[in-house]
Structure 1
């Protein structure tokens, strides 16, 4: 998904281990006053990354039509995960695919890619999450790529899990990432308490989609993201009426990045170059074929140089 804010904020960020905290979402309209609204928990001033996870939009269930024209990405991987609906994906790697509930679509932007996203005629309701992964410096110019995976449902005592990235509950995703990561959908049964074994080298975030959930001793509201720092080998989730959560994890990302619009880079000048090349339609991003419309133009850059913004100590 594109970040189609008219005045996107610039972000330079690092990830440092921290204590348990609750990240509250902010509502962000995408594409104008009548457009789709999302609840964004990453990035924000309180915390910019969880592992390499640098962007988290949670949307729906809403009766909306998505039509995001071809737009660029650099230095990241996009992770699309739906609960309801269907989205048609086209990119400059030549991929024509569909995003469907319970199926992962992961696109590698690397040096540069362009893609479009359009909800299908059969989709009257959209509900899901759109996530970005920052690529480490050694791989941020990786070639374009696209991976699809439909993870099996692993049934536990009081929960079921679909692991779309990394490993959890005996299930391992074959999808390639460039830093150690975890991504999973967890359904917690009503009245159940579930303890999950996790990697203590990871920091984790638990996004509550629907229902009620308590992470350890902390109750989350729908749309909130509960953050837990490194050093924990288990996470305990409990629910009274049942819940669906998205569990994200990864080793703390030890590099600074600059995020602006749909670009992840390292410096102000890099972002300027990416924007100029997109506007000039250079070969960096390629072309998206068979989209019935124009490309999405880049918004104006802010007046000053893009400034750092990282996680607080």
Structure 2
């Protein structure tokens, strides 16, 4: 997964009660598909930061025009070595995968797919909920777990209140609320809503690094402004996160986890550990695409999608290099 965005800006907070270094990661617009592609705002990975905990990919999209049906139409495509996490603010998406899942997701629910050794899936927004607005995230699997058999989970978190904040914990654990989905590293993922002018000090694990994916509003994280569509990141060592909503209501995703110590190679929809492994994964996918996808191949077969699987792009002319934590 190549990213040529400029280095993120580091801002040192010099005022307020909780000074901290906050990285502001700018989004890069990426089209998913052809001329009428869904445009997404990619804030992770970036050249200087590939991970926040084990979170390694963040695409935000929408809101799309309400008159556009089937706004998202992603043909069957493969994944390895990761979990996909789908979260919606508006709309409805149909998910099909090669372990036989047919599931829908609507706002306030999470679809979590563990790719493990290999899976393929499709995602299509439905015509009965045309406006589409949400986030797609990936979690890197540690080496000890990245070859597990693939599986799918769906979970509806109960909203919890903490001061003026409302949170929905869809991954990991926060404030005693634990998501009923499988995790392979210690992490957290939650939607955070705050009324205009309100603030919250969230108790968090000081061993985690955290990111705030801002969807609406212009909040301050540790007294540093994080504009809409940006990702604000703070490192380990904080036992509280100070978040202020500003003049507009805040809607954001809070992601975090213990720093991911392993180096990974990310390219297209694969996560591996070396160039040669990625090349082999690509070759296996291409062989299955030529034969229309097979139930006996590494990636299985998606039934019910109207269209062909997505071929992999060509590998670059240079060897893929590992990504890891910023130095």
**TM-score bin, normalised by smaller chain:** over 0.9
Match of 2:312 in 1: 298
Question: 1:156/1:77 Cα in 2 relative to 1: closer, same or farther (>3 Å)?
Answer: same
Residue number among 137, 143, 152 corresponding to 2:149 in the alignment: 143
Q: How many residues align?
A: 300
Deviations 1:195-251 (A, max 9, x none): 100000100000110112111110111011110100100001111321001000100
Matched, 1:167 2:160: no
Q: What is the aligned-residue RMSD (CA, Å)?
A: 1.5
Runs of 4+ in 1 over 3 A off after TM superposition: 308-312
Question: 1:86: how far off?
Answer: 0.3
How far, CA to CA, are the matches of 1:125 and 1:72 in structure 2?
26
Question: 1:161/1:177 Cα in 2 relative to 1: closer, same or farther (>3 Å)?
Answer: same
Match of 2:46 in 1: 44
State the SS of the aligned residue for 1:279: helix
Question: 1:165: how far off?
Answer: 0.9
Question: 1:174: how far off?
Answer: 1.9
State the SS of the aligned residue for 2:225: strand
How far, CA to CA, are the matches of 2:32 and 2:160 in structure 1?
35
TM-score (normalizing by structure 1): 0.93
How far, CA to CA, are the matches of 2:239 and 2:224 in structure 1?
17
Deviations 1:138-191 (A, max 9, x none): 001011111111000112221100001111123111211100010000001112
Deviations 1:46-92 (A, max 9, x none): 31100100000011101251111100000000000000000000000
Residue number among 55, 58, 73 corresponding to 2:60 in the alignment: 58
Map residues 265-280 of structure 1 onto 2, 5 A cutoff.
Answer: 265-280=272-287
Residue number among 238, 258, 261 corresponding to 2:265 in the alignment: 258
Question: 1:310: how far off?
Answer: 4.2
State the SS of the aligned residue for 2:256: strand
Map residues 24-173 of structure 1 onto 2, 5 A cutoff.
Answer: 24-63=26-65, 64=68, 65-173=71-179
How far, CA to CA, are the matches of 1:220 and 1:69 in structure 2?
34
How far, CA to CA, are the matches of 1:306 and 1:167 in structure 2?
34
How far, CA to CA, are the matches of 1:309 and 1:151 in structure 2?
32
Question: 1:296: how far off?
Answer: 0.6
State the SS of the aligned residue for 2:282: helix
Contact 1:23 1:46 in 2 (8 A): no
How far, CA to CA, are the matches of 2:323 and 2:299 in structure 1?
27
- The answer to which of 132-141 and 27-36 deviates more is 27-36
How far, CA to CA, are the matches of 2:27 and 2:134 in structure 1?
15
Name which structure has the greater RCO, CA cutoff 8 Å, separation 6+.
1
Contact 1:45 1:311 in 2 (8 A): no
Matched, 1:9 2:8: no
Residue number among 233, 248, 252 corresponding to 1:245 in the alignment: 252
Contact 1:10 1:258 in 2 (8 A): no
Question: 1:311: how far off?
Answer: 4.4
State the SS of the aligned residue for 2:311: coil
Question: 1:211/1:19 Cα in 2 relative to 1: closer, same or farther (>3 Å)?
Answer: closer
Contact 1:45 1:309 in 2 (8 A): no
Match of 1:308 in 2: 322
State the SS of the aligned residue for 1:223: coil
